[in-house]
């Protein structure tokens, strides 16, 4: 999967989503299509050189979500959650030495990542722990006006478990936009390749 | 005030015309409200400009409603003033480019120290001072050429409720006084202006609906000072604390906690404690976001009710995720051909050639060609990556389309130096794609065009960098 650095900043400034008065202008902001295409295509090329055919579907799906998360603004909770899941999955499958090598490559590209062995193991353990706790974390208690179907939405949207209903709706909207862009991209790719 | 946000507590009271304009322009409200808040925060320290902007913000929503040119100019003035303070918030105010003419003439009556007290008066928390200041304001309004502008301002206030406008303005001011001074004022607030708020509601509602002409404004201007004075005294007598009439809502809350810089008016007949206000704010937020989601999810326009909407949203998210899964399955089957094609070509040549083809053909380069170039670009990035570890792919701002015109010329020269064999191989599949339109996705093609073109250009830029450096 992608071991590249954090996504670049989006070209346009997004108004503060905590102010509903600007939801109109905020809603118009769409995910950055060039970055989506860039990340996904890069991942695709890498996948086809590396993975076996059997596991390719799963890998491509994960690459799709990762590229979606990278193309989105890092302020989005769902993008952070997706990238965290990807990182945790990677560290789960790798042994200690492989993780060291991979982390070294990553830190060369992205300084924010921890590179010391202690923090690395801590990261792995934290990642593993995070997965289990994320599943077991209770829903936030402040759900006053929230309909009962909201927890289904929480399961669907990545990172939606710990959010309030209000922000959950925001994240859902952004997630929907990115999902739609990703689907359009993949559909176009398929059409492009299948007609060659 | 219990909670002073960024905008300060006294911001709240001046927002009465905002509520009136709220139905018309929710965006204007924020900008004007922010301006008023700024003024509210600033009046304690210095008068003049901030108060001026506050006053202009007071009138600007109503002016925006009226839709006159002067009003827009005032609003722009407000927006420009707010620009440094609150970034994009001031931009929320719909505005045309500010006209210095109006800025100057608006500032003239207020800049002088004596008159600068006038806008301050609107914020000063003193019952007695309000009357005299308001009268001075109205007197100015009737006054000279600068005053004429002010009169327009004031008359626009009167648009919101003719005699009630000035009274409400004065009444608004009283709120900080009452809140700061005593708590029995709230009780008086609730009881006394019952009838008054009704009157104001009616006038406000009607005022919002109509679009007054300048002619009528002049008349109202003359009427308003007299009526204002009377109303003021009435208001003072009742100890009313403003913020009532401006809005179409009636009662005000005794304790009005400013929530997230959005000041909420308690509606008539609703509970006014802070908990229910917070609840109401939250519910409004949720409903706004549900509206957003309704626009996103196709086919949800007819659906009403939050539960059904939520089900639709969940279904849509699930269907999109299933689509991603399905498409990734198809991609895993289809893709090997791409790899094969790409590996054969020299990537940088392909990009250059493709760009030249794109620009020379001048056709609407479809989605496929862009994708193809992006695929090539991605492999290019990988090849170069092995050579030198690339930095964060922070893209330079996409070069304008005009830049691409220069690039093909060296590209064409380069291509010719490479020989024609590769060129023929490359260009033969590419033109065949140009005619192909994705069925049903032509809209997507148009969406992707410019963005992917910029991606390709970015890739080309990076290729050049690597080639040179």
DSSP B205-272: HHHHHS---HHHHHHHHHHHHHHHHHHHHHHHHHT--SSSTTSS-----SS---BTTB--PPPTTS--
Question: How far is B459 from chain A, CA to nearest CA, in Å?
Answer: 9
In 3D, which of A1, A14, A3, A189 has the Cα closest to residue A104? A3
pLDDT value at position B302?
77
pLDDT value at A93 more than 60: yes
A41 CB neighbours in chain B (<8 A) are 371, 374-375, 377-378
Q: Is the Cβ–Cβ distance between A186 and B324 less than 8 Å?
A: yes
Task: Identify which has the larger pLDDT, A9 or A145.
Answer: A145
pLDDT value at position A47?
76
Contact between chains at A53 and B448 (C-beta distance less than 8 A): no
Residue with tokens 């599943």: A135
| Burial class of residue B400 (count of CB atoms within 10 Å of its CB; 0-12, 13-18, 19+) | exposed
Contact between chains at A6 and B296 (C-beta distance less than 8 A): no
Q: Is the Cβ–Cβ distance between B163 and B224 less than 8 Å?
A: yes
pLDDT band at A191 (very low <50, low <70, confident <90, very high): confident
Q: How many Å separate Cα B362 from the centre of its chain?
A: 37
Task: Identify which has the larger pLDDT, B53 or A29.
Answer: A29
Task: Identify which has the larger pLDDT, B345 or A143.
Answer: A143
Give CA–CA dist A158/B111, Å, rounded: 55
Whether residue A69 lies within 8 A of chain B, CB to CB, comes out as no
Tens digits of pLDDT across chain B (469 residues): 444 444 444 444 444 444 444 444 444 444 444 444 444 444 444 444 544 454 455 444 444 444 444 544 545 554 455 444 444 443 444 444 444 454 444 444 444 444 444 444 444 444 555 445 545 545 444 444 444 444 444 444 444 444 444 444 444 444 444 444 444 444 444 444 444 444 444 444 444 444 444 444 444 444 444 444 444 444 444 444 434 434 444 444 444 454 556 666 766 777 778 888 888 888 888 888 888 888 888 887 776 777 788 888 889 999 999 999 998 888 887 755 554 444 444 444 444 544 555 455 544 444 455 555 555 544 444 444 444 444 444 444 444 444 334 444 443 333 344 444 444 444 444 444 333 333 334 444 444 555 555 555 555 555 455 555 4
Contact between chains at B288 and A23 (C-beta distance less than 8 A): yes
Task: Identify which has the larger pLDDT, A155 or A142.
Answer: A155
Whether residue A116 lies within 8 A of chain B, CB to CB, comes out as no
Whether residue B398 lies within 8 A of chain A, CB to CB, comes out as yes
Question: What is the dihedral sign for C-alpha B436, B438, B439, B440?
Answer: negative
CB atoms closer than 10 angstroms to residue B258? 23
pLDDT value at A57 more than 60: yes
Whether residue B448 lies within 8 A of chain A, CB to CB, comes out as yes
Of A96-110, A168-182, B345-359, give the lowest mean pLDDT range: B345-359
Question: How far is A132 from chain B, CA to nearest CA, in Å?
Answer: 23
Q: Which of B259, B292, B299 to mutate to test the interface with A (most CBs of A within 10 A)?
A: B292
Q: Note the helical H segments in chain A.
A: 23-28, 33-50, 56-71, 77-93, 96-109, 117-136, 150-156, 165-194
A27 CB neighbours in chain B (<8 A) are 292, 295
B375 CB neighbours in chain A (<8 A) are 41, 44-45, 189
pLDDT value at position B321?
92
Measured CA to CA in angstroms, residue A84 lies from A6, B146, B155 at distances of: 12, 62, 58
pLDDT value at position B307?
79
Whether residue A2 lies within 8 A of chain B, CB to CB, comes out as no
Q: Is the Cβ–Cβ distance between A76 and A14 less than 8 Å?
A: no
Contact between chains at B377 and A41 (C-beta distance less than 8 A): yes
Whether residue B412 lies within 8 A of chain A, CB to CB, comes out as no
């Amino acid at each position: 999967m992608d071991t590249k650095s954090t996504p670049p900043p989006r070209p346009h400034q997004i108004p503060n989503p905590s102010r509903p008065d600007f939801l109109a202008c905020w809603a118009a902001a769409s995910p950055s299509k060039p970055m989506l295409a860039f990340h996904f295509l890069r991942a695709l090329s890498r996948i086809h050189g590396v993975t076996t055919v059997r596991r390719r579907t799963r890998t491509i799906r994960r690459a799709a979500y990762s590229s979606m998360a990278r193309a989105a603004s890092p302020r989005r909770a769902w993008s952070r959650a997706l990238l965290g899941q990807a990182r945790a999955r990677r560290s789960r499958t790798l042994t200690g030495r492989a993780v060291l090598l991979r982390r070294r490559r990553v830190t060369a590209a992205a300084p924010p990542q921890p590179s010391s062995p202690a923090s690395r193991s801590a990261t792995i353990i934290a990642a593993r722990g995070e997965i289990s706790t994320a599943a077991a974390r209770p829903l936030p208690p402040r759900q006053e006006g929230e309909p009962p179907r909201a927890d289904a939405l929480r399961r669907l949207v990545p990172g939606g478990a710990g959010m309030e209903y209000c922000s959950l709706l925001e994240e859902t909207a952004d997630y929907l936009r990115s999902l739609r862009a990703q689907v359009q991209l993949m559909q176009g790719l398929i059409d492009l390749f299948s007609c060659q | 005030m219990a909670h002073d946000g960024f905008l300060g507590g006294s911001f709240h009271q001046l927002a009465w015309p905002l509520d009136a304009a709220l139905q018309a322009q929710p965006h204007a409200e924020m900008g004007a409200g922010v301006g008023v808040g700024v003024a509210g925060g600033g009046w304690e320290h210095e008068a003049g400009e901030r108060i001026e902007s506050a006053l202009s913000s007071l009138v600007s929503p109503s002016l925006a409603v009226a839709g006159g040119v002067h009003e827009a100019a005032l609003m722009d003035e407000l927006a420009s003033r707010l620009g440094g303070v609150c970034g994009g918030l001031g931009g929320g105010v719909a505005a045309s480019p500010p006209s210095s003419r109006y800025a100057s003439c608006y500032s003239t009556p207020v800049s002088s120290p004596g008159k600068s007290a006038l806008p301050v008066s609107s914020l000063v928390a003193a019952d007695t001072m309000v009357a005299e200041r308001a009268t001075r304001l109205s007197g100015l309004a009737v006054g000279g050429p600068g005053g004429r502008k002010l009169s327009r301002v004031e008359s626009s206030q009167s648009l919101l409720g003719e005699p009630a406008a000035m009274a409400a303005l004065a009444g608004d001011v009283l709120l900080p006084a009452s809140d700061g001074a005593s708590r029995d004022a709230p009780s008086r607030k609730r009881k006394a202006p019952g009838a008054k708020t009704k009157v104001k509601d009616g006038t406000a509602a009607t005022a919002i609906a109509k679009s007054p002409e300048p002619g009528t404004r002049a008349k109202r201007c003359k009427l308003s000072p007299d009526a204002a004075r009377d109303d003021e005294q009435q208001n003072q007598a009742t100890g009313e604390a403003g913020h009532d009439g401006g809005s179409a809502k009636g009662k005000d809350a005794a304790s009005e906690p400013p929530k997230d810089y959005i000041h909420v008016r308690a509606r008539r007949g609703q509970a006014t404690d802070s908990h229910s206000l917070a609840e109401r704010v939250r519910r409004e937020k949720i409903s706004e976001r549900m509206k957003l989601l309704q626009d996103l999810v196709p086919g949800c326009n007819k659906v009403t009710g939050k539960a059904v909407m939520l089900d639709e949203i969940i279904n849509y998210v699930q269907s999109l995720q299933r689509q991603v899964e399905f498409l990734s399955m198809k991609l895993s089957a289809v893709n090997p051909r791409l790899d094969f094609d790409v590996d054969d070509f020299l990537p940088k040549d392909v990009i250059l050639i493709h760009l030249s083809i794109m620009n020379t053909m001048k056709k609407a380069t479809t989605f496929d060609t862009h994708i193809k170039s992006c695929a090539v670009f991605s492999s290019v990035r990988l090849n170069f990556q092995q050579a030198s570890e690339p930095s964060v792919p922070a893209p330079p701002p996409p070069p304008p389309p005009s830049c691409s015109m220069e690039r093909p010329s060296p590209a064409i020269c380069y291509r010719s130096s490479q020989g024609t064999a590769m060129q023929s191989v490359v260009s033969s599949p590419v033109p065949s794609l140009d005619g192909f339109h994705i069925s049903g996705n032509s809209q997507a093609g148009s969406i992707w065009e410019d963005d992917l073109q910029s991606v390709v250009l970015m890739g080309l830029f990076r290729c050049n960098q690597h080639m040179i450096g």
